[in-house]
């Protein structure tokens, strides 16, 4: 993937390189027609594809991978796959796990025309709206000029906040040309406010010191 240049870079290749830079070397998921073009690029890349029995399995596999690796990712197709992985994503949100969900989607022209397509539930934006409630950041990649910035933002949000994120990739965007990746800028770490941390430690220690039978329940 290091040989990407202006002429060979596509949205799929850009996304795969950024995933590698985030330490994601395996992708879990289930193939589906809206995501097949992206999966062709996955197979051709150094990232290893790990097929699962269903999308929920892919979500839990990516969750476990992220806990050990620092970030994980799952790939599904539109609605029938996206809604199937939802429980795992909600669990990752509750447990603060940096999972990146990539969902294929119908081509942009079909979305714009409102065409009836298979797997469509209610309207074209329902899946995005649902995922916004259980992720820290979500986006549809509809423009190859802005797709690199959105990909960078989404992956950075997952790592920075330790929460799941969602990327919707229309089928006609998978091979769309875009600019090649540039060096990432900006910090991907959070820092405690010293005064707030000091006050929190003081409050916690006072409660423990006052207790006759203290019990400490360690959470996430």
Instruction: Give the mean pLDDT of the chain.
Output: 90
The beta strands (E) that lie in the chain are given as 26-29, 48-51, 72-76, 99-105, 137-140, 165-170
pLDDT digits (tens, 9 = 90+) for 95-148: 999 999 999 998 876 666 566 666 666 677 889 999 999 999 999 999 999 999
- DSSP H helices, the chain, are 11-21, 36-44, 55-69, 86-95, 108-113, 126-132, 147-161, 194-210
Kindly give, in sequence order, each residue whose CB lies less than 8 Å from that of residue 60, ignoring residues fewer than 6 positions away.
88, 91
Contact (Cβ atoms closer than 8 angstroms) between residue 96 and residue 163: yes
Does 27 score more than 70 pLDDT?
yes
pLDDT digits (tens, 9 = 90+) for 163-209: 999 999 999 999 999 999 998 765 555 677 889 999 999 999 999 99
Give me the pLDDT at residue 125, please: 82
Give me the pLDDT at residue 181, please: 93
Q: pTM of the entire structure? A: 0.82
- Asked whether the CA dihedral 18, 21, 24, 26 is positive or negative, the reply is positive
Count Cβ atoms below 10 Å from residue 37 Cβ, excluding itself: 17
- pLDDT confidence tier of residue 22, bands split at 50, 70 and 90: very high
Give me the pLDDT at residue 215, please: 86
| Greater pLDDT, 73 or 214 | 73
Identify the CATH assignment for 11-173 out of 3.40.50.10110, 3.40.50.970, 3.30.460.10, 2.40.50.100. 3.40.50.970
- CA 196 from chain center: how many Å? 30
Give me the pLDDT at residue 178, please: 96
**Residue at token pair 């934006």:** 125
- pLDDT, mean of residues 31-48: 95
The distance in angstroms from the start CA to the end CA of the chain is 35
| Greater pLDDT, 30 or 119 | 30
Contact (Cβ atoms closer than 8 angstroms) between residue 150 and residue 139: yes
Does 18 score more than 60 pLDDT?
yes
- CA 204 from chain center: how many Å? 35
pLDDT digits (tens, 9 = 90+) for 79-92: 888 899 999 999 99
Does 61 score more than 70 pLDDT?
yes
Give me the pLDDT at residue 186, please: 57
Count Cβ atoms below 10 Å from residue 83 Cβ, excluding itself: 18
């Amino acid at each position: 993937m290091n040989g990407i240049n202006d002429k060979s870079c596509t949205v799929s290749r850009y996304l795969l390189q950024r995933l590698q830079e985030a330490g994601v070397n395996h992708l879990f998921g289930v193939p589906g027609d809206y995501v097949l073009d992206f999966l062709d690029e996955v197979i051709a890349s150094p990232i290893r594809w790990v097929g699962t029995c269903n999308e929920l399995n892919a979500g839990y596999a990516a969750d476990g991978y992220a806990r050990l690796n620092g970030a994980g990712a799952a790939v599904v197709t539109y609605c029938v796959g996206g809604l199937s992985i939802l429980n795992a994503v909600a669990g990752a949100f509750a447990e603060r796990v940096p999972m990146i969900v990539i969902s294929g989607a119908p081509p942009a022209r079909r979305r714009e025309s409102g065409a009836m397509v298979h797997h469509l539930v209610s309207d074209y934006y329902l899946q995005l709206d649902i995922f916004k409630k259980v992720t820290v950041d979500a986006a549809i990649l509809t423009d190859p000029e802005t797709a690199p910035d959105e990909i960078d933002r989404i992956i950075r949000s997952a790592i920075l906040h330790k929460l799941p994120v969602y990327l919707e990739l229309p089928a006609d965007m998978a091979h769309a040309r875009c600019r090649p990746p540039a060096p990432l800028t900006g910090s991907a770490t959070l820092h405690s406010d010293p005064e707030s941390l000091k006050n929190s430690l003081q409050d916690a220690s006072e409660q423990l010191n006052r207790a006759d039978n203290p019990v400490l329940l360690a959470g996430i």
